[in-house]
Amino acid sequence: MIDLRWHVVHGDDAARLCLTSSEPGGPPVLVQPTREGFGSRLVERRFATEVGGAVKLTSAPTGLICRREAPLAAMQDRPDEKAA
């Protein structure tokens, strides 16, 4: 099971979407990773490139937590784009 939560952050500049996913009951993280793997780097860089967002991965004792934040406008459908 994946727990998915989102909210909009209103700050001084444009609104931002914050999306957090976690795996309650997933495999426990017994030892903190000492390096970042290829998959983690790929997720972070791709999200930054596609929507100008940032990704924060946290290895919690209960499992991996992934927080993504990006400008809300970048996450909305654009009428001139077709769905993939």
Query: What tens-digit pLDDT sequence spans the chain (84 residues)?
Result: 889 999 999 987 889 999 999 988 877 778 888 888 898 889 889 988 989 999 998 888 888 899 999 999 887 776 666 555
Cβ neighbors of 19 (< 8 A, separation 6 or more) are: 4, 5, 6, 67, 68, 69
Pick from 38, 39, 43, 65: nearest CA to 54: 43
What was the pLDDT predicted at 82?
59
pTM for this structure? Answer: 0.77
Domain boundaries, the chain: 3-71
